[in-house]
Amino acid sequence: MLLRRYAPLAALVCFACASAPAPVIPPAAFLPVPAGTTAAPAPVAAAPAPEAPLSALPFSPVLDAASMDRSADPCVSLYDYSCGGWRRANPIPSDQASWDEYSKLTQEIQRFLWGVIEELTPVSATRTPGQSKIGDYFAACMDERGVDSRGLTPIKTELDAIDALASVHDLAPLLARLQLSAGNGLLFVFTSEQDSDDATRMIAVGSAGGLGLPDRDYYTKTDAKSEAIRTKYVAHVGRMLALLGDAESAAAQESETILRIETALAKASLTRVDRRDPYKVFHKTRIEALEAMTPDFAWPAFLGTLAAPSVRVLNVAQPAFFKELGALLHTVPVAEWRTYLRWRLVDARAQNLSAPFVAEDFDFYRRTLRGVPSPPPRWKRCVRMVDDQLGEALRDEFVHRTFSPGTKARAASMTAEIEREMDTDIAGLGWMGPETKRQAKAKLHAIVNMIGYPDKPRDYGAVAIPRDDFAGNVARASAFEQRRRIAQIGKPVDRTEWHMTAPTVNAYYNSHLNSINFPAGVLLPPFFDARDNDAPSYGDTGSTIGHELTHGFDDHGRKFDARGNLKDWWTKKDAAAFELQASCVMNQYAEYVVVDDIHINSKLTLGEDVADLGGTMLAYAAWKHATSAAHLADVDGLTPDQQFFVGFAQWACENSRPEQLRVRAVTDTHTRRRSTGSTALRRTCRSLPAPSRAARVGRWCDRRAVGCGERRSARSEAPLHRRWSLLARSALVRG
């Protein structure tokens, strides 16, 4: 779905932990390895998952001794020590680009929901309205023969409308119609967002879009791999146009035109690093000024077709993009816009059409770009689509079967404990002055903890879902969601809204709402087990809770105040101290290699890296306080502290295809904890009083105290050693 590819909320919401189930491309994260070392090759041949629904979610312990590799040295790589067994036992399934604990649980939840939804498929008077929507949507999606028999018919009306476009001046209302059904961002993103100047109100926002490749850098880079991908992309575009009926020679020429338009848009788009700066994507602009940037675009007709409330002032998030769009609308002939729109439409809708479109779409976006050998089975696509388009209707179906009030209460109490640790931590920060501390605490105390699911799920009553029109259902659900967001323009902010569904295996901090959100899906084993030994749950979910909290104070989150206004509440001195320390983290992560010779873009991942480090330290401190009076036992030969750190590290067990790693090196803000694991252990050890190190973390700390893993004699490690030493002295969040 295009909607997710260009989801404007990505700019607002910082997703914590990768692997959010997406309709097409379930993301995973890359495995950074220290420069100069070689990652163990990931096993890739896997038998496909059994094709049957699950009647219950399988149980996996939060700390799984069988997933460890005790031959690895935890002082050198906590990740290899904790995950070596898991990586050998969990080759990447043939329909996945990567495979990790998150995607594994996501797939188990999908198989579980498959059974639940199938039971709702037969028409019955006992179904609730929400159950009817889910069941009928799934039935229509699973009707593969019906979908194939319709061929291009579902988008025929829209293709005819594009063919009838006689003038660029008529493009605006057509684009509005296309974006409603095919997804926001077809040419640019237009929706609502919280006003960064006034956290109580929603305003309209326009931002960049219009690209078929995963990032603007794919159009601008000149290395051989990037050139090769562009060549394959042009060929893919040509084949899609041929499926629409264009002659092969014409399609080849058209695809070059499309690349030219997209390249111009890409060059005018901000980089991902720039988009992380909230000031660079916030430009309150009068609608007349936007019209002046794009004089050939009929904004009143566009807004009217969307039934948008009155828009006098909006956030033009990327003015340079709209200026370039204005220039293109003036110079590119209307025939070329028709070509471009036909491609954008079929690209967005390919997965809802017949088998040839689905296959060609898979061949480029999954096989070529991400190295995936086989498409997913249809049931999996359909479950994912239900969650993506009608996900809040799944709330009760999922929560009632999997998420107990006891689990919710324990997650809430652990969150409160970790928040108390952050309060203590802020009070003790040596580098932060009293005024900034006062503001930081006010922000911390204002954070809203949202755990499990929304109190009021969305009502999908307005979406017509016949049982025999899959593509139509997708278009109507897309239009429903976009109209819902557009209707919020000018309205008060709904502070109860969630941006993930209850079954989602992920979590996020929302800097505008100043909330941390943990869907039920991420609060299940193997991440969290309220009944089990607490140490690994603190290490895993506790670190995730701390991670989200820390986002409120990372290089992005710290720019928003307690209510979510974009407002500088730091003294100049404290801001400078923060930037200095953040630069240490950034320099450290820049040392790590993702794949080939591609290093982590640590300017892009800085917020996640800071959150990973800070979150772990907070979780560790919270666990120590919670268990200070308890007698904790060794388990599987691990001290309680070691259990914490193995639980923490096993969160990140993962195998990835190299193609996927290359995509994520450009697009992903997460580095995951392969590198963070050892760093967090190192920082924790340094923060402990020397006499208690051995008692707490055993020999891991003993060795660490004399420089475990730093290998001072190894030339490649020396810069890291210096940075880690600096980090230890100036911890952003102290252990």
Q: Which is nearer to Zn ion, 314 or 611 (CB)?
A: 611
Shortest distance in whole angstroms from residue 389 CB to Zn ion: 25
Shortest distance in whole angstroms from residue 411 CB to Zn ion: 17
Shortest distance in whole angstroms from residue 520 CB to Zn ion: 19
Angle between helices 224-243 and 248-267 (to 10 degrees): 130
Q: Which is nearer to Zn ion, 611 or 701 (CB)?
A: 611
Shortest distance in whole angstroms from residue 551 CB to Zn ion: 5
Shortest distance in whole angstroms from residue 604 CB to Zn ion: 12
Q: Where are the alpha helices (H) located in 281-354, listed in sequence order? A: 287-293, 299-305, 319-331, 334-349
- Please give the backbone phi and psi of residue 169, each rounded to the nearest 5 degrees, phi first: -65, -20
Q: Which is nearer to Zn ion, 16 or 475 (CB)?
A: 16
Let me know if 229 is exposed, middle or buried by CB neighbors in 10 A (0-12, 13-18, 19+).
Answer: buried
Shortest distance in whole angstroms from residue 534 CB to Zn ion: 23
Angle between helices 129-142 and 395-402 (to 10 degrees): 100
Q: Which is nearer to Zn ion, 478 or 517 (CB)?
A: 517
Cα separation, 368 vs 351, whole angstroms: 17
Q: Which is nearer to Zn ion, 16 or 42 (CB)?
A: 16
* Tokens linked to 159: 């293709």
Residues that bind Zn ion (CB under 5 A): 16, 608, 611
Shortest distance in whole angstroms from residue 682 CB to Zn ion: 21
Q: Which is nearer to Zn ion, 536 or 546 (CB)?
A: 546
Handedness of CA 348, 351, 355, 359 (dihedral sign): positive
* Tokens linked to 570: 């730091």
Pairing of strands 598-599, 284-286: unpaired
Q: Which is nearer to Zn ion, 75 or 513 (CB)?
A: 513
CB contact burial 548-576 (16+ within 10 A = b; e otherwise): bbbbbbbbbbbbbbbbbbbeebbeeebee
* Tokens linked to 18: 């990768």
The closest residue (CB) to Zn ion is 16
Cα separation, 344 vs 662, whole angstroms: 24
Instruction: Say how far residue 569 (Cα) sits from the centre of its chain.
Output: 28
Cα separation, 682 vs 691, whole angstroms: 16
Cα separation, 720 vs 725, whole angstroms: 8
Shortest distance in whole angstroms from residue 15 CB to Zn ion: 6
DSSP 313: E
Shortest distance in whole angstroms from residue 544 CB to Zn ion: 9
Q: Which is nearer to Zn ion, 347 or 419 (CB)?
A: 419
* Tokens linked to 100: 């990790």
Q: Which is nearer to Zn ion, 16 or 618 (CB)?
A: 16
DSSP 431: S
Shortest distance in whole angstroms from residue 322 CB to Zn ion: 30
Cα separation, 349 vs 235, whole angstroms: 18
Which residues does residue 33 pair with via DSSP β-bridges, in sequence order?
593
CA dihedral angle for residue 156, residue 159, residue 165, residue 170, rounded to 10 degrees: 90
Identity at 215, one-letter amino acid code: D
Q: Which is nearer to Zn ion, 486 or 611 (CB)?
A: 611
